[in-house]
Amino acid sequence: MKKFYSAFLLAGILLLLNCAAHTNLAPVGKGKSTTYLSFGGPIIKAFGARIPIPYATIGSNYGLTESVNLHGDLHLLSLAYQVVGLELGTAWFPIQHEGLRPSVGIMPGFLALASVKSGVDDRFRLYPQLAGSAAWRSGKNKIYTGFNFLFPLSSADYDDEAAAAIFSPFVGYQWQVGSRTKLFFELKWNAATTRSDQVAVDYLPVAGHGAITPLFAIERSF
Amino acid sequence: MKIKILSLGILVIGLVQLACELDGFLFNTEKIEKYQLPGNTIPLKLIEEVTFKSGDYALFGYWVKTSNNRRGLTVLYSHGNKHHIDEYWDRVMYLHQLGVNVFIYDYRGFGRSEGESSEKALYEDGEAALNYVLSHFTVLPDSLIIYGYSLGNVPAIYQAAGQIRPLCLISEVPFASANSLTQGSTIIDIPPRWLTEGEFDNIKYIKQINTPFLLLHGEADDFVRFRDNGKVLFENAPEPKKLLLVPKANHGDIPETMKIENYLQALNQWVEFSVKYQRK
């Protein structure tokens, strides 16, 4: 029964949060910028197989100072549902690479969603976010880990068990390809503290919680 | 390489398109020539295949007469989204053991029924089935048990919220609305209609019923979670009402999980209660 229903709510998962690889691992340098394309999403069971949802975002980092980046992401696939998704934030790196010391980043920001679909009464949602990351050098490459907190400001009126914060830890690897290009592979446990084994979509949860989410990204610096 | 990229592209477009079309997933499009009634143990002389009209479309159904109709009661059964009448024939056989007539039908676009499924068509088909049972089989409204399973709760709750006052409404694993399913899956409070075309607003209609309401929901339902579906409907339903939350039961196995005899006993008790309530 569930398999048959699963696909019908693919739309639902496409807006599951934090579906972009974490490219903000170090300062990009004052006045410099990078552009990146991220794709991947929660693994779900559909059409008899486990597949990641092909979510896609495009974004840019800009170096405001030598230790602070600004970043913005536009969610591409949600546009198919006439939902504009925009993430804006800043990344501050109080600790930067030196020897075995990782580059540590703290990233406050927000995700804004707006529906431009006709017949919709309630058009906007805003979600504050806070992320943290630590990235270690591995030759020219980097290995990194971190977390993301997203804070829903509202919940369905019937849902008295809604989470106050959605926690998503991640690990990843960044390859330096040439002087200007980087590739990222990241594994995220989306909504790790939220039960996901009793919802319409067949996610790949861990102990009944969250959704395993592989993400890929390519970044080009300018 | 180009073929792989093309295949990936087609998959992506397909997923997006499928996701955008709620109805395409919710409704069954498999057409059949003949019903098989798999595993049937009901004497064939009691089973009558019928057709009736819903708008311009012919719908198919089965009237299953009990040989032991001591109470003169009839169950009008609206099935779930999967396949057609054959998939739910075991349920017909269970209900037949209650000593009641059973009427089951296929919605537009399901099984042999003509037309195309839609939310609007579900309501119309449910109403047409109700009118057909009341008029063709001369069933009295107060002897009618309206039973909805999963998607079938959309027409069933609508039937019970209409002009007639049936004996009772039995809802098994209903969802509260299209949005309740979406919000459960996205985890966040996505507003209504952002991601779905249909409303399937069972909450709206459950408030309007005027008949005893029995809700059956599995604690382990991994599709229509009780917390944001059955519980919400139950809280919005008027009295008298009863909740039967079945431990370890999933979306499709409540009778088997609680054992058939216990399931039938629970239904029987609710019917008896409803009869007494009606006499007050």
pLDDT (0 to 100) of residue A48:
63
- For residue A21, give how far its alpha carbon lies from the nearest alpha carbon of chain B (Å): 19
Domain segments of chain A: what residues? 2-221
Instruction: Give me the residue from A51, A156, A197 closest to B189, CB to CB.
Output: A156
DSSP per-residue codes, A93-144: EEE--BTTBPEEEEEEEEEEEEE--TT-S--EEEEEEEEEEEEEEETTEEEE
Q: Does residue B73 surpass a pLDDT of 60?
A: yes
Residue B63 lies in a domain: yes
Give the phi and the psi of residue A35 in degrees, each rounded to 5: -130, 140
What sign does the dihedral B200-B203-B207-B213 (CA atoms) show? positive
A48 touching chain B per CB within 8 A: no
Residue (of B229, B236, B119) closest to B184 by Cα position: B229
Give the phi and the psi of residue A153 in degrees, each rounded to 5: -85, -10
pLDDT (0 to 100) of residue B61:
97
Least confident of B153-162, B178-187, B225-234: B178-187
For A76, residues 6+ apart whose C-beta sits below 8 A from its C-beta are A56, A57, A58
Q: Chain A contacts of B176, Cβ < 8 Å?
A: 158
pLDDT (0 to 100) of residue A153:
83
Whether the CB-CB separation of A113 and A17 falls below 8 Å is answered with no
pLDDT (0 to 100) of residue A12:
46
pLDDT (0 to 100) of residue A11:
42
Residue B21 lies in a domain: no
**Tokens read off for B255:** 């009778």
**Local structure of residue B238 (DSSP, 8 states):** P
Complex ipTM above 0.85? Answer: no
**Local structure of residue B106 (DSSP, 8 states):** P
Q: Does residue B4 surpass a pLDDT of 60?
A: no
Q: Chain A contacts of B191, Cβ < 8 Å?
A: 115, 120-123, 125
Least confident of A113-117, A192-196, B185-189: B185-189
pLDDT (0 to 100) of residue A15:
47
Whether the CB-CB separation of A74 and A52 falls below 8 Å is answered with no
Instruction: Give me the residue from B16, B150, B195 closest to A15, CB to CB.
Output: B195
Q: Does residue B198 surpass a pLDDT of 50?
A: yes
B153 touching chain A per CB within 8 A: no
For domain A2-221, give the fold.
Answer: Porin (2.40.160)
What single-letter amino acid sits at A16? L
Q: Does residue B274 surpass a pLDDT of 50?
A: yes
Mean predicted lDDT score pLDDT of chain A: 85
* Domain CATH for B89: 3.40.50.1820
Range A92-96 average pLDDT? 94
Residue with tokens 């107060």: B142
Angle between helices B153-160 and B119-136 (to 10 degrees): 60
Instruction: Identify the residue with better confidence: B178 or A12.
Output: B178
pLDDT (0 to 100) of residue A87:
93
Least confident of A122-136, B12-26, B254-268: B12-26
pLDDT tens for residues B94-143? Answer: 999 999 999 999 999 999 999 988 889 999 999 999 999 999 988 999 99
Range B204-229 average pLDDT? 93
Query: What is the C-alpha separation between B110 and B123, in angstroms, rounded?
Result: 14
pLDDT band at B28 (very low <50, low <70, confident <90, very high): low
pLDDT band at A176 (very low <50, low <70, confident <90, very high): very high
What sign does the dihedral B197-B203-B206-B208 (CA atoms) show? negative
Q: Does residue A210 surpass a pLDDT of 90?
A: no
Residue B23 lies in a domain: no
Q: Chain A contacts of B186, Cβ < 8 Å?
A: 12-13, 15-16
Mean predicted lDDT score pLDDT of chain B: 88
pLDDT (0 to 100) of residue A199:
72
Domain that holds residue B211: 30-279
pLDDT (0 to 100) of residue A60:
95
Number of domains in chain B: 1
For B167, residues 6+ apart whose C-beta sits below 8 A from its C-beta are B73, B142, B143, B144, B145, B211, B212, B271, B274, B275, B278
Residue B40 lies in a domain: yes
